[in-house]
Amino acid sequence: MDFVDTCVIGGGVIGLAIARALAAAVPDVLVVDQAASIGQGISSRNSEVIHAGIYYPADSLKARLCVEGGRQLYEYCQSHGVAHQRCGKLIVAADVTEEAALLNIQDLASVNGVNLSIWSGAQVTDAQAHIRASMALFSPLTGIVSAHDLMQSLLADLEQRGGSFVGSTRVEAIEAVDGGFVVLCQADGAEYRFGCRSVINAAGLGAQVLAGSCKGLDPVHIPPLYLCKGLYFSLKGKHPFKHLIYPVPEASGAGLGVHATLDLGGRVKFGPNVEYVDEADYSVPEARREDYFQAIRRYYPQIEKARLVPDYAGIRPKLQAPGGQPADFVIQGPSVHGLIGLVNLFGIESPGLTAALAIADYVHTDILGY
Ligand SMILES: Cc1cc2nc3c(=O)[nH]c(=O)nc-3n(C[C@H](O)[C@H](O)[C@H](O)COP(=O)(O)OP(=O)(O)OC[C@H]3O[C@@H](n4cnc5c(N)ncnc54)[C@H](O)[C@@H]3O)c2cc1C
C-alpha cells in the first residue's frame, strides 16, 4: 500500500492553505479533491472580500483568525503577486433608526482590534455621491482578492515544497489504524487505498459526510450541517462605486445584508442573500430581482431594476440552524475526538477566505503541534 505523511481532503482555499503550511514541516503532503481541479467548491462562489473582522464575537475563532488572516493575506498577496485591492468599505445606516446599530458594530469591532471611523451623511455623499446614508462606518482595511489567483499561488507554493494535488479522486472512507489512517478513494471508476500519518478533513460542504465515513470517530463530534444559499445579481453597464457598500447586517446574524461588492475586473455585484435550502443548487431565479431592487434602493436610490442581472450563487456550510444562534468555526483535533493525526474543519463559511492563512497556522501549530 502507498503511504504519504499527510492527506488533505479538499482542494479549496482552506485545504490548499493548510497543505502549504504543513509542507514546510513534513515531507509529503497530498491534497485530493473529487473535482478535476482546485477551487471548484465554495472557494469559487463567494464575494472575494478580505474582511477586516468587524462582526464576530470577541475571542471567537472567526474574530481571531479573520483579523490575523486578513493581515497575513495582504502581505501574501503583495509578496506573491496575487491580484487584490484595499478598496475600503462603508457600512451605511439608511436612516436615524439604524444609527444605534452602527455604534454597536463600531464597539464590537474595536474589541476585535478593528478601528472604524464614523462618517456623517454629508461625508458619505462627498465620497460616493450616489449613496444615501444618514451615517456610516468606514473600514479602511476591507478589500477584495482574486480567490482563483490566491489558490493557484498556494498550489504553486505547495508543489515547490514537495507536496502535490490529485483531482478527480473522491474519498469514500477513512479508517483509523495503528500509527495513522487508511484512506479509501474512488478515481476513474476504480477503488484504491493508501496509508497516511495524518488526515485533514477540509471538505467544505462534504466535511460532515466525510467525518461520518471515518471508522473510529465518534459521531457525537460531527455537528449538523445546514446548507445556506446566497445569490448574486450584477449591475449591467457602468457604475459609480469606489468602496464596498454594506447595509446594517440582518438581526438574525445569518447574513450581512444585500451589499455592493466590487470585483477586480471593475464590475459591481449585489448579494449574497440568505436562503436555507435542502439541496445545493446554484440557480439564480429572475424572480428574486424585485427583492434585490428593494434592498439596494435603500442605500442606492438611483438603481435601475432593468440593469440587475442574475449572476451566480454560493452555498454556505452553516452550523447555525435556521433561526438559531450564530455559530463559530469548528476545528477539531485529537484533544476533542481522541484520534491522533485527524483534523476536522466544520462550518468554514465567511470569513474563511480571509482567514485561510491563519486557519492553516492554527491547524499546523495549535492543533497538530508541529
Ligand atoms: C456566498 C458566499 C460568500 C462568501 N463570501 C466570502 C467573502 O467575501 N470573504 C471571505 O473571507 N469568505 C467568504 N465566504 C466563505 C469562503 O468562501 C469559504 O470559507 C471558503 O471558500 C471555504 O473553503 P473550503 O476550502 O473550506 O471549501 P471548498 O472550497 O468547498 O473546498 C472543499 C473541497 O472539498 C472537496 N470535497 C468534498 N468532499 C470530498 C470528498 N469526499 N473527497 C474529495 N474531495 C471532496 C470539494 O470538491 C471541494 O473542492 C463566502 C462563502 C459563501 C458561500
pLDDT value at residue 256: 81
To test the pocket of ligand 1, the residue of 34, 46, 65 to mutate (highest count of ligand atoms within 8 Å of its CB) is 46
Same domain, 109 and 218: no
Cα 304 to ligand 1 centroid, rounded to whole Å: 32
- Evaluate whether residue 96 is within a structural domain: yes
Cα 289 to ligand 1 centroid, rounded to whole Å: 26
Same domain, 193 and 336: yes
Backbone φ and ψ for 368, nearest 5 degrees, come out as: -90, -25
Same domain, 233 and 135: yes
Number of domains in the chain: 2
Sign of the alpha-carbon dihedral angle for 295, 296, 297, 298: positive
* Residue-level pLDDT, tens digit, the chain, 370 residues: 899 999 999 999 999 999 999 999 999 999 999 999 999 999 999 999 999 999 999 999 999 999 999 999 999 999 999 999 999 999 999 999 999 999 999 999 999 999 999 999 999 999 999 999 999 999 999 999 999 999 999 999 999 999 999 999 999 999 999 989 999 999 989 999 999 999 999 999 999 999 999 999 999 999 999 999 999 999 999 898 999 999 998 776 667 889 999 999 999 999 999 999 999 999 999 999 999 999 999 999 999 999 999 999 999 999 999 999 999 999 999 999 999 999 999 999 999 999 999 999 999 999 998 7
Atom of ligand 1 lying closest to residue 345 CA: 26
- Evaluate whether residue 63 is within a structural domain: no
Same domain, 168 and 305: no
- Evaluate whether residue 92 is within a structural domain: yes
Cα 13 to ligand 1 centroid, rounded to whole Å: 7
Which residue's entry shows cell 483531482? 167
* Residue pair 281/239 in contact by the 8 Å Cβ criterion: no
Atom of ligand 1 lying closest to residue 49 CA: 8
Rounded-to-integer distance, Cα 295 and Cα 301, Å: 10
- Evaluate whether residue 362 is within a structural domain: yes
pLDDT value at residue 313: 98
Cα 263 to ligand 1 centroid, rounded to whole Å: 18
Rounded-to-integer distance, Cα 312 and Cα 282, Å: 7
Atom of ligand 1 lying closest to residue 172 CA: 41
Which residue's entry shows cell 475600503? 88
Which residue has its alpha carbon closest to ligand 1 atom 41?
A: 171
Same domain, 213 and 290: no
- Evaluate whether residue 57 is within a structural domain: no
Domain CATH number, residue 250: 3.30.9.10
Rounded-to-integer distance, Cα 307 and Cα 289, Å: 10
- Evaluate whether residue 60 is within a structural domain: no
pTM exceeds 0.85, yes or no:
yes
Domain CATH number, residue 33: 3.50.50.60
Last residue of one domain, picked from the residues 318, 335, 353: 318
* Residue pair 144/262 in contact by the 8 Å Cβ criterion: yes
Same domain, 314 and 331: no
- Evaluate whether residue 274 is within a structural domain: yes
Which residue's entry shows cell 442574475? 310
* Residue pair 197/27 in contact by the 8 Å Cβ criterion: no
Cα 279 to ligand 1 centroid, rounded to whole Å: 16
Q: Tell me how crowded residue 253 is: count the other CB atoms within 10 A of its CB.
A: 15
Cα 206 to ligand 1 centroid, rounded to whole Å: 10
pLDDT value at residue 211: 98
Q: Shortest CA distance to 352 belongs to which of 47, 120, 79?
A: 47
Same domain, 286 and 178: no
Cα 121 to ligand 1 centroid, rounded to whole Å: 37
Last residue of one domain, picked from the residues 279, 295, 318: 318
Distance, CA of 161 to chain centre = 25
Cα 41 to ligand 1 centroid, rounded to whole Å: 5
Same domain, 158 and 14: yes
To test the pocket of ligand 1, the residue of 42, 188, 259, 343 to mutate (highest count of ligand atoms within 8 Å of its CB) is 42
pLDDT value at residue 253: 66
Which residue has its alpha carbon closest to ligand 1 atom 14?
A: 350
Q: Which residues pair with 305 in a beta bridge?
A: none
Same domain, 193 and 257: no
Same domain, 238 and 290: yes
- Evaluate whether residue 80 is within a structural domain: no
Domain of residue 174, residue span? 2-47+148-223+327-367
Peptide bond into 317 cis (omega under 30): no
Q: Shortest CA distance to 139 belongs to which of 72, 53, 69?
A: 53
Distances (CA, A) of 22 to 29, 271, 334: 7, 35, 17
Same domain, 260 and 197: no
Grid cell in block for residue 274: 440568505
Same domain, 163 and 295: no
* Residue pair 107/118 in contact by the 8 Å Cβ criterion: no
Cβ < 6 A, ligand 1 pocket:
9-15, 32-35, 40-43, 45-49, 51, 170-171, 202-206, 210, 230, 272, 314-316, 348-354
